Structure 1
Amino acid sequence: MLEGFADEILVGGRWRPGSGAVVETRSPATGEVLARLRGAGPADVDEAVRAGAAAAADPAWRDVPPHERARYLVRIADLIAERADDLAALQTADTGKSINETRALVASAQGTFRYFAGALETLEDALTPPRGPYLTMSVHEPIGVVGAITPWNSPIASDAQKIAPALAAGNAVVLKPAEWTPLVSLALGRLICDAGLPPGLLSVLAGPGRIVGDAIVRHPGVGKVSFTGGTSTGRTIGAAAAEKIMPVSLELGGKSPTIVFPDADREQALAGLLFGIFSSSGQSCIAGSRVFVHASIYDEVLDELVARAGKLRVGPGTDPATQVAPMVAHAHRDKVAAMVDRAVADGARLRCGGRIPEGGEYAEGAYYLPTILDGVPNGAAICQEEIFGPVLVALPFEDEEDLVAQANDTVYGLACGIWTADYRRAWRVARRIDAGTVWINTYKQFSISTPFGGFKESGLGREKGREGIRAYMRQKSLYWGLDENPLPWAT
Structure 2
Amino acid sequence: MSEKLQTLLAGRWRDASGPEYATEYPHDGSTVATLHAATAADVDEAVQCAERARQQPSWAGLKRHERAAILHRIAAGIRERGEELAQLQRLDNGKPIKETRALVASAAGTFQFFAAACETWEDQLTPSRGDYFTLSAHEPLGVVGAITPWNSPIASEAQKLAPALAAGCAVVFKPAEITPRMAIELARIAQQAGVPDGIISVLPGKGSIVGDALVKHPLIKRIAFTGGTTVGLGIARLAAEKLMPTSLELGGKSPTIVCADADLDHAVAGVLYGIFSSSGESCIAGSRAFVHESVYAEFKARLLAGVKALRVGDPSSESTQMGPLVNPGHRASVERYVQLGLDEGGQLLAGGVRPEGAQFERGSYYTPTVIEGLSNSTRMCQEEIFGPVLALLPWRDEADLVAQCNDNVFGLASGIWTRDYKTAWRLGQALQTGTVWVNTYKVFSVSTPFGGVKMSGTGREKGRLGILEYTAQKSWYWGLNESPMPWATA
Question: Does TM, scored on the shorter chain, surpass 0.5?
Answer: yes
Which residue is equivalent to 1:312? 310
1:226 and 1:306 map into 2 onto residues whose CA distance is 39
Does residue 153 of structure 1 match 2:162? no
Verify the 8 A CA contact 2:280 2:386 in the aligned structure 1: yes
SS at match of 1:448: coil
Q: Could you tell me which of 184, 195, 199 is aligned with 1:201? A: 199
Give the Å deviation of 1:288. Answer: 0.3
* Equivalent position amino acid for 1:337 in 2: E
Alignment of 1:33-432 (within 5 A): 33-432=31-430
Verify the 8 A CA contact 2:246 2:459 in the aligned structure 1: yes
* Equivalent position amino acid for 1:342 in 2: L
1:211 and 1:96 map into 2 onto residues whose CA distance is 26
Q: Could you tell me which of 468, 475, 484 is aligned with 2:473? A: 475
For the aligned residues, what is the CA RMSD? 0.8
CA deviation map 1:125-151 (0-9, x unaligned)? 001111111110000000010100000
SS at match of 2:309: coil
CA deviation map 1:330-369 (0-9, x unaligned)? 1101110111012112211111100111221000000000
SS at match of 1:310: helix
* Equivalent position amino acid for 1:413 in 2: G
Give the Å deviation of 1:382. Answer: 0.3
Give the Å deviation of 1:260. Answer: 0.3
Q: Could you tell me which of 424, 439, 442 is aligned with 2:440? A: 442
2:349 and 2:188 map into 1 onto residues whose CA distance is 47
* Equivalent position amino acid for 2:485 in 1: L
CA deviation map 1:282-317 (0-9, x unaligned)? 000000000000111112211221221122000011
* Equivalent position amino acid for 2:85 in 1: L
Structure 2 residue ranges without an equivalent (≥5): none
Question: Which segment drifts farther, 47-56 or 97-106?
Answer: 47-56
* Equivalent position amino acid for 1:305 in 2: L
Verify the 8 A CA contact 1:23 1:206 in the aligned structure 2: no
Which residue is equivalent to 2:10? 12
Does residue 490 of structure 1 match 2:465? no
Using the aligned pairs only, state the percent identity.
57
Q: Could you tell me which of 12, 29, 32 is aligned with 1:31? A: 29
Verify the 8 A CA contact 1:435 1:455 in the aligned structure 2: yes
Give the Å deviation of 1:23. Answer: 2.9
Question: Which segment drifts farther, 186-195 or 44-53?
Answer: 186-195
2:458 and 2:94 map into 1 onto residues whose CA distance is 29
CA deviation map 1:141-187 (0-9, x unaligned)? 00010100000000001010000000000000001110111112212
SS at match of 2:256: strand
Verify the 8 A CA contact 2:4 2:34 in the aligned structure 1: no
CA deviation map 1:215-260 (0-9, x unaligned)? 1000001000000000000000000000011000000000000000
SS at match of 2:446: coil
Verify the 8 A CA contact 1:9 1:39 in the aligned structure 2: no
SS at match of 1:471: helix
* Equivalent position amino acid for 2:344 in 1: D
1:115 and 1:212 map into 2 onto residues whose CA distance is 30
Which residue is equivalent to 2:19? 21
Question: Which segment drifts farther, 191-200 or 62-71?
Answer: 191-200
Give the Å deviation of 1:321. Answer: 0.4
Verify the 8 A CA contact 1:140 1:476 in the aligned structure 2: yes
Verify the 8 A CA contact 1:248 1:461 in the aligned structure 2: yes
CA deviation map 1:69-89 (0-9, x unaligned)? 101101111110110010000
Verify the 8 A CA contact 1:23 1:179 in the aligned structure 2: no
SS at match of 1:112: helix
1:458 and 1:200 map into 2 onto residues whose CA distance is 33
1:194 and 1:222 map into 2 onto residues whose CA distance is 25
Verify the 8 A CA contact 2:274 2:285 in the aligned structure 1: yes
2:134 and 2:186 map into 1 onto residues whose CA distance is 41
CA deviation map 1:176-225 (0-9, x unaligned)? 11011111221222122222210001001110111001110000010000
SS at match of 1:233: helix
